[in-house]
Amino acid sequence: MSVATVSRTLAGNYPVSTETRARVMAAVEALHYVVNVHAKALSGRVAGPVALVIKDITGPSLAHVAAGVEQEAADRGRLSLVCATHDDPAREDDLVQLMREQHAAAVVLVGGAVQDEAYRRRMAEYATALDAAGSRLVLVGRPPLPGDLPVTVVEYDNRGGAFQATDHLLTAGHQHVLFLSGAPGLSTSEQRGDGFRHALRAHGVAYQEELDLPGPYTRLSGYQRTKQALAAGLAFTAVFAGTDMVATGALAALREAGLDVPGDVSIVGFDDVPFAADLSPALTTVRVPYEDLGRTAVRLALEREERIGGDDHVVLSTQLVIRQSVRALP
């Protein structure tokens, strides 16, 4: 048979005889034939996948973003691909190029970034290259880019969440708060720092630079920085940890020093990862809608692709979840 006849039979978009269909399907079964998806993608006859590019697939918060991306993509009949960069810009470049070649409908980049000129230039190149290939760049948890670039941004309210956490401690009477902030220059760190200092100003409490200890958002860093503060004799009655992972490290260091939480020191985290409610005491923290971030990223990208319309920049709200790790001072 001709290639055209076989193609029409498999596509089902042209009438063929029962005998012809039976012969073609018998050959398909005998040869274990599968459709060349790349060829179909080039012809525009297959829906492209949604690619999620993250630094680390093991982090609890990023795993929930991935779950949201996968669920929304599946609901819309799309395959989702998850790729890890391990914080290597060169690998990120390679993955974005690979997703262009795979005709991904959207490439979702997740996580904070240092907003310098090199970063903005790279993101602009990604956005332009993906748009030329019929794809869409989506930034999740990152601020928008300057200029009129073909990019979708899905943020959450870091400043507002940090303000709520700090306000809760200050309202409880804590005037000296150890702030375990993030790495300098990182967008999430800068925004949470802004919210922390805004709350201090709102309560008329002076900012104490010696109580602001920056570092990576890891459990080990939270443990080490808290031990450092205790060894230095810094006076504080509460800790605002930049993430829940940092809070677990701080909690371990406080207990190791013989301090009770919240009897001696109160503590608040940020993220509301699943284990936060199971800590002892249950952790007061700021809830970030991570699954909604993933779902919203896919929805906005695909609705734009399908010309349904919608916003290109969305900011989701955060929420303070009050549990048992904060004590009001007399």
Q: Tell me which DSSP letter residue 211 carries.
A: G
Sign of the alpha-carbon dihedral angle for 216, 222, 224, 226: positive
- Which of 3.40.190.150, 3.40.50.2300, 3.30.750.24, 1.10.357.10 would CATH assign to domain 50-156+289-317? 3.40.50.2300
Per-residue model confidence as pLDDT tens digits over 164-208: 999 999 999 999 999 999 999 889 999 999 999 999 999 999 999
Question: Could you tell me where the DSSP H helices lie in 56-114?
Answer: 60-75, 89-101
User: Comparing 50-156+289-317 with 158-288, is the CATH topology the same?
Assistant: yes
Q: Which two tokens stand for residue 86?
A: 């391990």
What is the residue-wise DSSP string for 150-217?
SEEEEEE-HHHHHHHHHHHHHHTT---EEEE---TTBHHHHHHHHHHHHHHHHTTPPP-GGGB----S
pLDDT of 124:
93
Residue 123: pLDDT band (50, 70, 90) is: very high
Residues near 215 by beta carbon (within 8 Å), at least 6 away in sequence: 180, 181, 182, 183, 221, 222, 224, 225, 246
Range of lowest pLDDT (22-26, 56-60, 143-147, 220-224): 56-60
Task: Map out the domains of the chain as residue ranges.
Answer: 3-34, 50-156+289-317, 158-288
Mean pLDDT of 215-241: 97
- The answer on pLDDT for 37 being more than 60 is no
Q: For domain 158-288, which CATH number applies: 3.40.1190.10, 3.40.50.10490, 2.30.110.10, 3.40.50.2300?
A: 3.40.50.2300
Radius of gyration of the chain (CA): 25
Q: What local confidence, expressed as pLDDT, does residue 326 receive? A: 97
